[in-house]
């Protein structure tokens, strides 16, 4: 009899095994079917038998060993390539001048950082020996140094043990207290500056909430009574110096400004010392002049006073007396055609108004990490600082470009002076002392560029932070003796100069680059966690509010600002004490981008050869012969230098110092201190090796 196959017990089981699959069909002719996956008992796994096969087991081991060897090889390749990268940076340094190679520049600060680094390395070695030998004692109390537990003579093992105990006692008695006092002073300054930043943000929120902004009462160009608007005479000045990349687009934008041609004059103020660039600019001016634009080209043979001397020389022309207003644009600025129609009407009916400042907008803000971080800073500067000061104080620092001055205000304030490298701030302070008012237009934007290389940005920041301190020395007596109110004097001295130009770089460098790593080796003077973490993060969030799209970069922004404190502190000291680099002007290198999508323009212009078809129209025979000569020189000229990274010794030394302090913080199990020092040290390392931003030729 055949065996009976009874599956009733198997079907009667409530326990389901396998993975249910549900198939849903929209067609009404089909129904929903639920299928249970195959049971493990019905189809036994074949893997159990495979595990017993010795040959397959050997192959599995070989595959895993191959994978492990590949991982080890990848890590080894990275570690092997790292010294080569550093070596390449050091080799390229011979071809590219470093900041420290320049005579008598930053030598004192570099020596201080090197001495500090040497001390930290010795202290770290000492602490490691003590840690490995188990010499752990009660943490000394700053207020009660006698609470330090000093072992008995029987507990001391060797001269090194005795020396370590002497070091503990010495740092508790003589080192910790001065460091703690300095840290308290920096913390107070830090809190004051943070409060000022918070008040500015609250003022900006109030302006947004109340919708406060300068307005023109009526449209002057479309009056109801039928009278025509009398266009005032406006002078447009474009100062430039060796601006090969941007001269064409800036002149083109200025020549397309919507204003009657007989009421507008454009001055191209060229301080270039390169004959080829001079000829290019003059040819561009001739081209627009032949199109009917009222434009003139001026070139100074002697470049004295930098930009201030250039503007002063242009204002001395006799025909300037016929003009009422002057608009100033740097060489990389591209104003919209309606710029004058949005700014000039604010002067009508407001005889005390001396300056109308527009906002900057950046065509290359998303080019690299450096430009993104600059965009955060400058957006806060315009959206918060300039706007709040303009609304509540009627005063702010002139940005040097994208602004319209009443010529009478310039003459009443003494005109352009060549005494500092911040001629824009100089004329703004003197005009404010003479009672002139300023207006900032946040909704009028002018396209420009931010530096794409760290070298250019570093030099720009040095000038922007040394110049104000130099100016403060010169204009302090005039501020004190001026006839403005005591509140405006206090705003100028305490807030505008001391707090935002002097205190900010001082405490940033001292607190985070000196005191914080020092407290790792002198733990009796430990900084509170809220100073290191909470308050800086909150301030970074406030700074990034005007540029919310840059929110993912808040951590790099915080680290980079602390990294730049070295340059800003050095510049502030040189300007305050009138050192050699306080009166240094280096033209900021531009890429020549005319729009955000114009990513190939810079590369094309580097390889661009001066050709006659581009310039021969309207050129004289002498100009054509000069162009032929320049073209021959260009063809014989060697290929452009290879772009190379530079080495910044102060940043590299500080990176080693902070990484050493981070290693010391591990012995004390200080989590937040360790991570802050680690990431800050890596930030200094990247900047020191010039691995941020584009490279310069």
Mean pLDDT split into 10-residue runs, the chain, 697 residues: 44 46 48 49 47 66 73 67 59 46 62 89 85 63 47 61 84 90 94 96 96 87 74 96 92 96 96 93 96 95 89 94 96 96 94 97 94 96 96 93 97 95 96 96 96 93 94 96 94 95 94 93 88 92 93 94 95 88 76 56 45 44 57 56 73 94 82 90 94 73
Nearest in space to 594 (alpha carbons), one of 305, 287, 358, 361: 361
pLDDT value for 416: 97
CA distances from 429 to 98, 281, 285, 407, 423 (A): 35, 33, 34, 16, 10
Backbone torsion region of residue 402, taken as left when φ is above 0, otherwise alpha when ψ lies between -120 and 50, otherwise beta: left
* Coil, helix or strand at residue 251: helix
Could you tell me which residues come within 8 angstroms of residue 311 by beta carbon, excluding any fewer than 6 positions away? 237, 239, 269, 328, 416, 423
Residues 324 and 407: their CA atoms lie apart, in Å, by 6
Task: Report domain extents, the chain.
Answer: 229-449
Question: What SS3 string covers 629-661?
Answer: HHHHHHHHCCCCCCCCCCCCHHHHHHHHHHHHH
Catalytic residue among 330, 424, 426, 690: 424
What's the pLDDT score for residue 128? Answer: 85
Written in H, E and C, the secondary structure of 439-497 is EEEEEEEEEECCCCEHHHHHHHHHHHHHHHHHHHHHHHHHHHHCCCCHHHHHHHHHHHH
DSSP 29: T
Chain mean position to CA 341: 32
DSSP E strands in 136-274: the ranges are 234-240, 264-270
Question: What is the maximum alpha-carbon separation in the chain?
Answer: 129
CA dihedral 354, 359, 360, 366 (to 10 degrees): 170
Q: Give me the residues paired with residue 440 across strands.
A: 357
Asked if 165 and 156 touch (Cβ cutoff 8 Å), the reply is yes
Q: Do the bridges between strand 21-23 and strand 295-299 make them parallel or antiparallel, or are there none, so unpaired?
A: unpaired
- Give, as one character, the DSSP assignment of residue 406: E
Q: Which two tokens stand for residue 458?
A: 């570093």
Long-range contacts of 301-309 (CB under 8 A, 24+ apart): 303/241, 303/271, 303/273, 304/418, 305/418, 306/271, 306/418, 306/421, 306/423, 306/585, 307/239, 307/241, 307/400, 307/423, 307/585, 308/416, 308/417, 308/418, 308/420, 308/423, 308/426, 309/416, 309/418
Asked if 514 contacts 116 with a C-beta cutoff of 8 angstroms, the reply is yes
Residue 437's DSSP bridge partners are 353
The pair of three-digit structure tokens given for residue 297, joined into one six-digit string: 């080209």
Q: What is the pLDDT of residue 497?
A: 96
- Can you give the pLDDT at residue 15? 45
The reported pLDDT for the residue numbered 311 is 96
329 within 8 A of 217, measured Cβ to Cβ = no
Give just the sign of the alpha carbon dihedral 195, 201, 203, 205. negative
- Give, in degrees to the nearest 5, the angle at Cα 357 between 355 and 362: 160
pTM value is 0.78
Distance CA 671, CA 680 (A): 14
Instruction: Supply the pLDDT for residue 106.
Output: 60
Is residue 424 part of the annotated active site? The answer reads yes
Strand partners, 34: 22
Alpha-carbon distance 224 to 219, whole Å?
A: 9
Q: What is the pLDDT of residue 222?
A: 76
Select which of 271, 330, 332, 426 is catalytic.
271
Second-level CATH architecture of 229-449: Alpha-Beta Complex (3.90)
């Amino acid at each position: 009899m055949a065996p009976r196959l009874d599956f009733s017990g198997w079907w009667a089981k409530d326990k389901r095994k396998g993975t249910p699959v549900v198939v849903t069909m929209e067609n009404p002719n089909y129904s929903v079917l639920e299928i249970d996956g195959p049971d493990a008992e019905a189809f036994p796994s074949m893997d159990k038998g495979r595990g017993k096969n010795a040959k397959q087991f050997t192959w599995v081991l070989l595959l895993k060993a191959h994978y492990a060897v590949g991982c080890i090889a990848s890590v080894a390749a990275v570690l092997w390539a790292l010294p080569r990268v550093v070596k390449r940076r050091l080799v390229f340094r011979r071809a590219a001048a470093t900041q420290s190679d320049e005579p008598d520049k930053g030598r004192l600060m570099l020596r201080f950082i090197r001495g500090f680094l040497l001390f930290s390395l010795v202290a770290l070695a000492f602490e490691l020996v003590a840690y490995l030998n188990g010499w752990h004692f009660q943490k000394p109390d700053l207020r009660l140094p006698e609470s330090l537990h000093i072992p008995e003579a029987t507990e001391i093992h060797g001269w090194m043990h005795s020396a370590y105990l002497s070091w503990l006692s010495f740092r508790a008695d003589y080192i910790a207290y001065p460091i703690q006092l300095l840290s308290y002073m920096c913390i107070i300054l830090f809190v004051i500056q943070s409060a000022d930043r918070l008040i500015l943000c609250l003022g900006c929120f109030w302006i947004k909430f109340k919708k406060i902004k300068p307005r023109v009462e009526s449209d002057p160009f479309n009056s109801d009574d039928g009278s025509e608007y009398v266009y005032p005479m406006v002078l447009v000045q474009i100062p430039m110096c060796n601006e090969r990349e941007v001269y064409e687009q800036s002149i083109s934008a200025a020549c397309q400004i919507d204003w009657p041609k007989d009421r507008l004059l454009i001055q191209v103020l060229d301080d270039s010392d390169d004959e080829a660039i001079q000829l290019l600019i003059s040819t561009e001016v001739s081209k627009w002049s032949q199109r009917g634009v009222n434009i003139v080209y001026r070139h100074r043979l002697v470049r004295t006073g930098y930009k201030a001397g250039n503007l002063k020389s242009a204002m001395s022309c006799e025909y300037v007396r016929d003009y009422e207003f002057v608009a100033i644009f740097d060489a990389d600025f591209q104003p919209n055609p309606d710029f004058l129609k949005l700014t000039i009407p604010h002067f009508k009916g407001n005889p005390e108004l001396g300056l109308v400042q527009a906002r900057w907008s950046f065509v290359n803000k998303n080019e690299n990490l450096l430009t993104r971080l600059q965009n955060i800073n400058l957006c806060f500067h315009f959206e918060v600082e300039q706007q709040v000061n303009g609304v509540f104080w009627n005063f702010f620092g002139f940005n040097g470009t994208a602004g319209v001055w009443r010529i009478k205000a310039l003459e009443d304030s003494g005109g352009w002076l060549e005494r500092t490298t911040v001629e824009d701030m100089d004329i703004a302070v003197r005009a404010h002392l003479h009672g002139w008012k300023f207006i900032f237009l946040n909704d009028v934007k002018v396209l420009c560029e931010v530096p794409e290389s760290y070298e250019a940005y570093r030099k720009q920041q040095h000038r922007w932070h040394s110049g104000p301190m130099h100016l403060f020395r010169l204009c302090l007596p005039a501020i004190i003796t001026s006839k403005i109110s005591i509140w405006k004097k206090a705003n100028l001295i305490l807030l505008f100069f001391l707090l935002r130009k002097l205190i900010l770089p001082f405490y940033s460098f001292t607190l985070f680059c000196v005191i914080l790593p020092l407290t790792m080796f002198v733990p009796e003077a430990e900084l509170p966690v809220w100073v290191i973490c909470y308050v800086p993060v909150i301030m970074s969030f406030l700074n990034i509010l005007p540029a919310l799209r840059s929110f993912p970069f808040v951590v790099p922004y915080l680290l980079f600002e602390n990294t730049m404190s070295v340059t800003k502190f050095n510049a502030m000291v040189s300007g305050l004490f009138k050192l050699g680099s306080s009166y240094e002007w280096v033209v900021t290198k531009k890429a020549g981008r005319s729009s955000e999508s114009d990513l190939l323009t810079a590369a094309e212009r580097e390889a661009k050869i001066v050709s006659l078809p581009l310039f021969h129209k309207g050129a004289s025979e002498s100009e054509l012969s000069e162009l032929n000569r320049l073209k021959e020189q260009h063809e014989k000229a060697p290929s452009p230098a290879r772009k190379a990274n530079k080495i910044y010794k102060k940043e590299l030394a500080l990176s080693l110092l902070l990484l050493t302090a981070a290693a010391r913080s591990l012995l004390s199990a200080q989590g937040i201190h360790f991570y802050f020092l680690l990431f800050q040290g890596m930030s200094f390392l990247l900047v020191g090796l010039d691995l941020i931003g584009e490279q310069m030729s």
